[in-house]
Structure 1
Amino acid sequence: MLSAIRSYLLPIIKLYLLGLKVLLVQLFSRSFRLPVMPRQDGKVAIVTGGGRGIGYEVVRHMARLGAHVIIGLEPALGISFAQLCSSNTLFRLRRGQLTDGGRDEQEGLAAVRRICEEYKEAKVEFTKLDLASLQSVRQFVQSFKERDLPLNILVNNAGVMLIPEGRTEDGFEQHFGVNYLGHFLLTWLLLDTLKDSGKCGYFSRVVNVSSSAHRIGEIRLNDLNSCQCYSAHAAYCHSKLAQLLFSSHLHQHVQRGGFPLSSCAVDPGMVDTALYRHLWTPLCLAQRAIARLLFRTPAEGAVTVLYVALSPALEGECGGGYWANGRREMITPPTFNPQLQLSLWETSIQLLGLQ
């Protein structure tokens, strides 16, 4: 009993203390400002969770630079930017008639509409991608590949935090399934396209939006699904560490193979987004009160993501690593463990039934 209580409370204490430390560092550090980035005409990017928050700002900026951006969103209608910008679609959206997919669907429509209205030549669209469903991930990739488009940038941004205990469609713990395993499968299935789209002078890039919470995460290969004494706080931290281990191993893998592709992870800091909505109610109320004053805005949180995705200075091996506030950061000891990286990689392949 005492052990179970400790297993439940300790991650909570650790995560909130870490959050306080990160907030203090953030308050007394100068925020990184994004340099002028080159045009991205002809480039294709996929951004998961690009309907709001950091993902929306990433999509908006890439679209402004001329990239063709596809938002992976759940649930979605699969409406293209051309269809969305049509007067009929805009009229139906304003009248509230596009409601079958719920709030997230309308949020995605509104995001694409805003970008199209702001940048008349924007090439941005969204399509269905539910990271909690391996079948949905596979369908998304199949649909994308049928279009015979290149893929220059993949931003694995979508995520969940501190949600109640539950399972994905395929039986995985939700933090592990959405934050890590869904993105692992998405990246794996798109890997050949990413490799083929890279070229000398402009590598393809995989950017994983991580969190400082990885520092207190653990990888238990025999309990990746957090079946033993579930803690939402611990599960979130574990999923972010798994994501970072994957990002690091992927970068080493493609570098050894000589492929024109790089992989990195980014910590956007504490950002005022909807990610905190599952906090304990009193803390959620406090967070809402201080977030606008002390947290970064989504646009500020997107800066480092955009930098590692677009900067010409980060070609090849320079593009790997773990980044925060525009700088490459030291990462915790578990991520340096090649055997742990390989074991997690192989276990993930087995869980997903890949070859």
Structure 2
Amino acid sequence: MSLIIASVAVAAAALHWYLNRHKPIKHILKELKHDLDTQGAGLGGLIDDWWNKGRNNIQLPDASRRIAIVTGGARGIGTEVVRGLLKANMTVVIGIRRPKLAEQMAKNFENGGNLQAVELDLQSLKSVKSFAENILKKYPVIHLLVNNAGIMFGDYKLTEDGFESQLAVNHLGHFYLTHLLLPALKSGGSIGEFSRVVNVTSCAHHPGTIYFDDINMKKYYDSASAYFQSKLAQLMSARYINKLMEEENSPVRCYSVHPGIVNTDLFNGTMFQRLFPWAMNMFFKTPEKGAVSILYGCFEKSLDKQGGLYISNCREGISNSFSKKVDNQRRLHELSCKLIGVDVVKYGKDFS
């Protein structure tokens, strides 16, 4: 395994230099470091998946009459999360850009009649608000929110709201949606039967940081750094929002989950996929196995006393030190509120 990763790192370094030889050397070296960080995080994730594969399991409960909202869900890990929630007899509403994709899913899934789809584009705050409004009209009480949808890498792009696209989809869209749905989640929870918010993050948060002074990375963009930042933000937000919920004695708990290194189409076009497609089939988790830790975050009763936990392979995962500092969490929360236009003191309290 380590030989494969080392080979990938060498090949990636050589190819990266060749493709970017027109750039200033300081930029090439910075991007190369991020490529190596990516490989290191991936190796650590693969080792964690292998070492703890025996822990990666969940017994689905009977969650009849409970409502789950899932972003994404029409492909990859999200599809398997939806399958598990339906098996647990939940009513599941997925937010996807093309709701008609859910029609075939409903036909093929157990309890597929409990599956609904509503249009959602996380690159647009307007779409997020419209999605939340549609949900709340029908479901004023919600028990579970799984912030699953995500994008990885890609060229620099700003959304209609002026946000870097990975930050918008992976973090800010979900951060806003959580704000809008928190009143319904509070209504759905009770002491001993908490509602939950589950953010799907990644072990790729490890080399990440939050660029507070250039959150949209306009001065200098590197796709890997942007991805690291967005996934770190998801983890930190889960911790801080959970802290807020505990301080106000709200019956909601928040978690972040690394599903493992999973063979999904997010890797399409990446260096690893181009060089070692066979290794992905051999060593990466299937989407079904990747969904297990997320479902664990959704249902495991012992987690009621561990709000804010970062989960990997159905246990507490190792997160970076930056994410654990409350001052960093608070600063990110305040900045995120400013970006989406929500008063900090009204977060999760006022639909706006």
Q: Normalization by structure 1: what TM-score?
A: 0.86
The residue type paired with residue 341 of structure 2 is G
Aligned to 1:338: 326
Give the direction of change, closer, same or farther, for the CA distance of 1:267–1:34 in structure 2 (3 Å limit).
same
Give the direction of change, closer, same or farther, for the CA distance of 1:213–1:35 in structure 2 (3 Å limit).
closer
SS in 2 for 1:130: coil
Q: Tell which deviates more after alignment, 179-188 or 228-237.
A: 228-237
Q: How does 1:133-148 map to 2 (within 5 A)?
A: 133-148=124-139
**Whole-Å Cα distance in 2 between the matches of residues 148 and 35 of structure 1?**
27
Aligned to 1:4: 27
Structure 1, gaps ≥5 residues long? 78-105
**Whole-Å Cα distance in 2 between the matches of residues 319 and 55 of structure 1?**
22
> Does 1:189 pair with 2:177?
no
Aligned to 1:72: 95
Aligned to 2:5: none
**Whole-Å Cα distance in 2 between the matches of residues 119 and 148 of structure 1?**
19
Give the direction of change, closer, same or farther, for the CA distance of 1:295–1:200 in structure 2 (3 Å limit).
same
Equivalent of residue 164 in structure 1, options 155, 166, 170: 155
1:137-171 alpha-carbon deviations (Å, 9 max, x no partner): 00000111111442100000100001221111212
Contact persistence 2:153–2:227 (CA under 8 A): yes
**Whole-Å Cα distance in 1 between the matches of residues 234 and 128 of structure 2?**
17
The residue type paired with residue 69 of structure 1 is V
Equivalent of residue 285 in structure 1, options 250, 265, 274: 274
Contact persistence 2:132–2:180 (CA under 8 A): yes
SS in 2 for 1:199: coil
**Whole-Å Cα distance in 1 between the matches of residues 307 and 212 of structure 2?**
28
Aligned to 1:216: 207
**Whole-Å Cα distance in 1 between the matches of residues 328 and 260 of structure 2?**
26
> Does 1:325 pair with 2:316?
no
**Whole-Å Cα distance in 2 between the matches of residues 8 and 156 of structure 1?**
29
The percent of aligned pairs where both chains have the same amino acid is 34
**Whole-Å Cα distance in 1 between the matches of residues 30 and 194 of structure 2?**
43
**Whole-Å Cα distance in 1 between the matches of residues 276 and 177 of structure 2?**
32
Give the direction of change, closer, same or farther, for the CA distance of 1:287–1:165 in structure 2 (3 Å limit).
farther
SS in 1 for 2:316: strand
Aligned to 1:109: 103
**Whole-Å Cα distance in 2 between the matches of residues 287 and 145 of structure 1?**
45
The residue type paired with residue 18 of structure 1 is A
Structure 2, gaps ≥5 residues long? 1-23, 344-352
Contact persistence 1:44–1:149 (CA under 8 A): no
Give the direction of change, closer, same or farther, for the CA distance of 1:330–1:20 in structure 2 (3 Å limit).
closer
Give the direction of change, closer, same or farther, for the CA distance of 1:191–1:29 in structure 2 (3 Å limit).
closer
Q: How does 1:123-142 map to 2 (within 5 A)?
A: 123-142=114-133
The residue type paired with residue 297 of structure 2 is V
Q: How does 1:11-160 map to 2 (within 5 A)?
A: 11-77=34-100, 106=101, 108-115=102-109, 118-119=110-111, 122-160=113-151
SS in 2 for 1:328: coil
1:18-40 alpha-carbon deviations (Å, 9 max, x no partner): 21232234234434342423201
Say what the alpha-carbon RMSD is for the aligned residues.
Answer: 1.6
Contact persistence 1:32–1:303 (CA under 8 A): no
**Whole-Å Cα distance in 2 between the matches of residues 110 and 290 of structure 1?**
31
Aligned to 2:219: 228
Give the direction of change, closer, same or farther, for the CA distance of 1:287–1:160 in structure 2 (3 Å limit).
farther
**Whole-Å Cα distance in 2 between the matches of residues 327 and 230 of structure 1?**
34
Q: State the 1:277 CA deviation.
A: 1.2
Q: State the 1:287 CA deviation.
A: 4.3
